[in-house]
Structure 1
Amino acid sequence: METTLEMKSNQLVMTSSLQRQKWCANQFLYKFQNFWFPLTYLEATQKVLENFKPVPKDVILASFPKTGTTWLKALLHSIINRSPKQDYNNNPLISNHPHDLIPSLETNLYDYNTKKTEFLSVKNHKDVRILATHIPHQILGDVLNSSECKVVYVTRNPKDTLISLWHFVQKSKSFGDDPWELEVAVDQFCNGIVLFGSYYDHVLGYRQECLKRPQKVLFVTYEEIKENPEYYVRKIGEFLGCPFEGENGDVEIEEIVKFCSFENLSNQEMNKSSELSSMFPLPYNSFFRKGEVGDHMNYLDDEMIEKIDGVTREKFHGTGFVYGI
């Protein structure tokens, strides 16, 4: 189905015709450069491509939605902004949600309601800006490669990603009488018709860039970090040029891992709040559900699992990336 996008007067005007597909909650996704976007994020993505200028000190956290973004934001903030005598009683993560400390390019900074313009100005090129994005590398790559900024990409088992996304979007009040049935969600996920999808192409884009430019892109999985968080906190610090050294470094790593654990973060008052977040029309507490590996087994039947695994074998295993099953 073809549709011409007409933006409001205070938004970017787009005149190209794009393929449109119904997604869920009576919402449509639009196909842009082989990926699917809600209208609002499509407009914001176009603004990012035209206006965002990364600088060498920038750290960009890239991810497909619901693959561990919130946790990685907390970890990156703690790794980069640590001090020799960190006072965790006054840690900004106690009074601020991770998504407010590390804004997203397309959902915080370049949407027409943005209130985070201070993040867009570079006052001191020695300062480190930590920014996030769900935009695929196939679309954002030229922008990211225009500077020496570092990219950390996190991915997650496709089945757990789908279940986390399924739970997340159903918390929106916009669903009304149009729930996102799980069978439909599985089909759409496998066909790539989900926000910022296809998931598989999204993951492979950043993985291929990591293989090509390992000094530029660090590719990590949610499961690896969950299994050995101390190792990956150290690895991320080294990649970003702020290594943990000596016995004090070991202590710092232990403190960061403990403070940024799901149990600790999910129990902070801000993260338990039902107040609407600054980036989505959803409450802050919707970003913390379980954080478990293998949660999909509680929801997907054998047929659904085999369907997703079949796509995983084709998309991932067929390219030499043995992951997800």
Structure 2
Amino acid sequence: MIVNRDYMLHILTRLLETPSPSGYCGRIVSLVEEEAAKLGFVPDRTPKGCVIITVSGKREEAMGISAHVDTLGAMVRSIKPNGTIRFTPVGGYMMSSVENEYCRVHTRDGREYEGTVLTVKPSVHVYGDARELKREEANMEIRIDENVASKDEVLALGISVGDFVSWEPRTRLLANGYVKSRHLDDKAGVAAVFALLRGLRDSGVAPERTLKIVISVYEEVGHGAAYLPPDIRELIAVDMGAMGDDLSCKETDVSICAKDSSGPYDYDMTTRLIRLAQKNNIPHAVDIYPNYGSDASAALRGGSNIRAALIGPGVHASHGMERTHTDAIANTAALLAAYVLE
């Protein structure tokens, strides 16, 4: 199966430009359903809002592949008397990673307002302790780009407590293959899954087993794929591979995670993925991520009686200003293809 990189980057760009903090995924779920239908597959939406795409295989026995379209973000916690917004995080990130970031506030009646994340002491020319101020929720706020100076004026815009806030992704696709953007976790993984779907369609080759692709919407808050269709007995979660101290993964690799915070992944599945990467000369790394959880973790903790493994493109600076390489996404799609077609 050939990975169509142009298509892969096209769908990645569309995903990245669509706001989707956990709990606010209606638009991106519609995009996923639309794209699946274009490829000739019939998507099904669960009551929770996840999408399941079924690909008929040579055998009815089903295996699952999951990836998540939800991202980090925030919600309006309160509106301050001076017209700025206090926010509460959605997902786990360092407050310093969103300081000075542009954002959008999404009201429940469909309006959007631009803003900027700042500390409550945003200028060194005014506040002597601006540099030392601890970057924590209580010391952060959003300055919205409207002529407002009071709580009532903000309320008049239709902004309310509980409205969602999305971060500007700042996506760049470089000529040398690097991709830098917020939310590569896990939209790069979703792009790899769609590259697999496109490759299966174009090749006309059926997978050995029926595939059930689960695109989840609450992974960043811990329960994305907690529900799986009951006929799934084996799941590969596709999520970003972390990089850093004592890890071997690079931005061009597909990461194979042997263990994360939920414990070891299935021995036989992980071994098979390593063997297939070696056999097919797919650049890969095997690592352990002690501060990490996945859709497979959620499924296992939710009571699913499955075997599970975890792979994904190597991503630098996860939950910050992330970067990966086109090769890593394509290598992830290639390893998925090798697994489902063998």
TM-score tier, shorter chain, comes to under 0.3
Say which one has the larger Rg: 2
**Which has more strand, going by share of residues?**
2
TM-score (norm 2): 0.25
TM-score, normalising length from structure 1?
Answer: 0.26
